[in-house]
């Protein structure tokens, strides 16, 4: 590779989109029917909807922090987890999914742009860099996608019983 910076950016983008070491979130979302999104399981503090919405909110927060010098810190955990076990409507579910993918695409475009320095700390942060935020999205989304996959399997298993 002649351009190590471009290579690193492309690898980050590929990993954020998923499908290498973990199942793509697109595939997991397709495993659960709308009417099962709020299904509760004993011993688990969240539903499929709450888990996905948490991923969406956290990713949006990381994007907002990375691009906005006037970023306003969200309150943990209140602002990161939905209270309702299921979306209020199919429209809310579809909107949430659409927002997730639009935000992911916006972040990928942001990191692929070589005008955005990967290693320079943000002026509005405490040492965070675009590279660090890309890794944070990658790790967070992969971690919770695994949890969504487990929930999808539990939902499928409960329907077969």
* pLDDT per residue of the chain (161 residues) written in tens, 0 to 9: 689 999 999 999 999 999 788 889 999 999 999 999 999 999 999 999 999 999 999 999 999 999 999 999 999 999 999 999 999 999 999 999 999 999 999 999 999 999 999 999 999 999 999 999 999 999 999 999 999 999 999 999 999 87
Q: What is the pTM for the complete model shown?
A: 0.96
pLDDT value at position 1? 63
Q: Are 96 and 148 in contact (CB under 8 A)?
A: no
From residue 41, give the alpha-carbon distance in Å to each of 28, 49, 93, 103.
18, 13, 20, 29
Question: Considering only CA atoms, which of 78, 81, 70 is closest in space to residue 125?
Answer: 70
Question: Considering only CA atoms, which of 58, 55, 69, 56 is closest in space to residue 128?
Answer: 69
Residue 85 Cα to chain centre, angstroms: 18
C-alpha triplet 124, 11, 14: angle, nearest 5°: 95
Alpha-carbon torsion angle 69, 80, 143, 25, nearest 10? -90
From residue 56, give the alpha-carbon distance in Å to each of 28, 92, 100, 115, 141.
14, 13, 5, 26, 9
Q: Where are the domains of the chain?
A: 4-160
Q: Which residues of 114-142 are buried (b: 16+ CB within 10 A; e: fewer)?
A: eeeebeeebeeeeeebbbbbbebbbeebb
CATH number of the structural domain 4-160:
1.20.120.450
- Taking the C-alpha atoms of residue 94 and residue 112, their distance in angstroms, rounded to an integer, is 27
pLDDT value at position 84? 98
pLDDT value at position 8? 97
pLDDT value at position 144? 97
């Amino acid at each position: 590779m002649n351009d190590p910076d471009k290579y690193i950016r492309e690898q980050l983008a590929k990993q954020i989109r998923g499908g290498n070491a973990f199942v793509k979130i697109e595939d997991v979302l397709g495993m659960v029917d709308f009417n099962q999104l709020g299904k509760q399981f004993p011993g688990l503090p969240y539903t499929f909807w709450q888990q996905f919405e948490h991923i969406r909110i956290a990713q949006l927060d990381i994007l907002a922090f990375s691009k906005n010098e006037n970023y306003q810190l969200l309150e943990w955990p209140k602002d990161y987890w939905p209270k309702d076990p299921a979306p209020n409507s199919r429209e809310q579910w579809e909107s949430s999914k659409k927002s997730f993918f639009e935000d992911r695409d916006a972040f990928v475009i942001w990191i692929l742009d070589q005008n955005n320095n990967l290693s320079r700390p943000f002026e509005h942060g405490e040492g965070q860099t675009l590279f660090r935020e890309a890794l944070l999205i990658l790790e967070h989304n992969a971690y919770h996608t695994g949890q969504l996959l487990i929930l999808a399997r539990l939902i499928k298993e409960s329907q077969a019983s």
